[in-house]
Amino acid sequence: PPYNLSPPPFPLLLDFPYTLQYFFQFFFHTQRSVSSLSPPPSSVRKQVTAPFLSLSLSLTMAIPLLFFLFLSSLSSIPLSQSKLTLDYYAKTCPKFEQIIQETVTAKQLSNPTTAAGTLRLFFHDCMVEGCDASVLISSNSFNKAERDDDINESLPGDAFDLIIRAKTALELTCPGIVSCADILALSTRNLVKMVGGPYYKVRLGRKDGFESHDSAVEKNIARANTSMNVIIDMFKSKGFTVQEMVALTGGGHTIGFSHCKEFSSRLFNHSKTSQYDRGLNPKFAEALRKVCSNYLKDHAMSVFNDVMTPNKFDNMYFQNLFRGLGILATDNELITHPATRPISELFAKDQNAFFQAFAHSMEKLSVLGVKTGRKGEVRHRCDAFNSIKT
């Protein structure tokens, strides 16, 4: 019977088994077509034999070339990413998604800032050595882990607690099966959706990493006063465009919060001519100065990045930037840097454009530097390696 050669679903290279099957289906169909070609009747055979042989030979030689080009295109996709699938736990832990959803729902209802904290935790994990749950590891006498670097000191405890709860529930149902990295990835997506954000696919099959060092954090996570040029280069080195960087920043800040110490330099003794940064709305600056007046003693004091709709995932954060309501120095640079201002303007005007860009960027972030096979493990506890690492 004739082969069904309708176009396969895209992106092709993210579904390796299907793509390979599709290629060989095309390969054998072409081979059969070539082998079934027959020369014209004998009366004209001499005149057309050479062109016919040339056509047949060209098709036959083209097939290995096509196969080579096919394999070459696959080389641009890391093998670890090709092993991730949407239904990775369908047979080994069929209640995986149900348990995750129940756990995140309960936690978010009791602590409404869980979504923001978990999204931030996921970002800080993926940007440092990939999405391998290395940020969850606790330090020991042999090693200072990522989570204890000063940049990560502000990561909220509720986010860590959520992952511990989910891991505990999963270990009771299907012990030793689900990685902490996958728990963090899916929990983040579900929480983003719960607070009004866009849905995006999360491929599963990550393994938990073997390394976690505080020294790896500084060069991979931007600080509140990092210049926009440095941030752009930081994301570019990991394969992200400027638009993807802005989308991820907006997603983290529309439901996020920052501690006063992260933006105190914009509020107190900013310059010789002004106590506060003139990029801030004057009334907003005065309000922040009052809230953060005791920040040197109360290190936990924090403010929502989106003061209008702090618990709703929307594009209000970008609208606020143009009103002088951006808290961090990097917030202000999003509307002053020539590479990021047009994108910020677009997202402020068009929430759908922001949502689409964020969903795409999160899918891309979620497979950054993932470990599979023997390059990782499934931890018994999310805060500790299965064997002591020095």
What tokens were used for 92?
A: 């080994």
SS3 204: strand
| Residue 205 · residue 182 · CB < 8 Å | yes
Between the alpha carbon of residue 161 and those of residues 14, 193, 377, the distances in Å are 32, 20, 21
| Residue 164 · residue 383 · CB < 8 Å | yes
Please tell me whether 87 is known to bind a ligand. no
| Cα distance from N-terminal residue to C-terminal residue, the chain | 61
Please tell me whether 241 is known to bind a ligand. no
What tokens were used for 268?
A: 């107190």
Backbone angles phi, psi at 371, to 5 degrees: -105, 135
H/E run at residue 258: strand 257-259
Please tell me whether 309 is known to bind a ligand. yes
Q: Residue by residue, what is the 3-state secondary structure of 320-359?
A: HHCCCCCCCHHHHHCCCCCCCHHHHHHHHHCHHHHHHHHH
As to burial, measured by CB atoms within 10 angstroms (0-12 exposed, 13-18 middle, 19+ buried), residue 51 is: exposed
| Residue 359 · residue 199 · CB < 8 Å | yes
Please tell me whether 208 is known to bind a ligand. no
- List beta partners, residue 377: 208
What tokens were used for 148?
A: 């204890």
Please tell me whether 306 is known to bind a ligand. yes
Please tell me whether 273 is known to bind a ligand. no
CA nearest 185: which of 157, 206, 155, 165? Answer: 206
Beta-carbon count within 10 A of 218 CB:
13
CA nearest 226: which of 245, 208, 202, 206? Answer: 245
Please tell me whether 149 is known to bind a ligand. no
Those residues with Cβ within 8 angstroms of residue 95's Cβ, 6 or more apart along the chain or in another chain: 173, 174
**124 annotated active-site:** yes
Please tell me whether 130 is known to bind a ligand. yes
> Which one is catalytic: 124, 259, 299, 380?
124
Backbone angles phi, psi at 262, to 5 degrees: -75, -20
Please tell me whether 233 is known to bind a ligand. no
Please tell me whether 82 is known to bind a ligand. no
Please tell me whether 157 is known to bind a ligand. no
Those residues with Cβ within 8 angstroms of residue 356's Cβ, 6 or more apart along the chain or in another chain: 198
Task: Tell me whether the omega of the peptide bond preceding residue 112 falls within 30 degrees of 0, making it cis.
Answer: no
| Binding site as annotated, residues for heme b | 253
* Catalytic residue ranges: 124
| Binding site as annotated, residues | 125, 128, 130, 132, 134, 146, 253-254, 306, 309, 314
| Binding site as annotated, residues for Ca(2+) | 125, 128, 130, 132, 134, 146, 254, 306, 309, 314
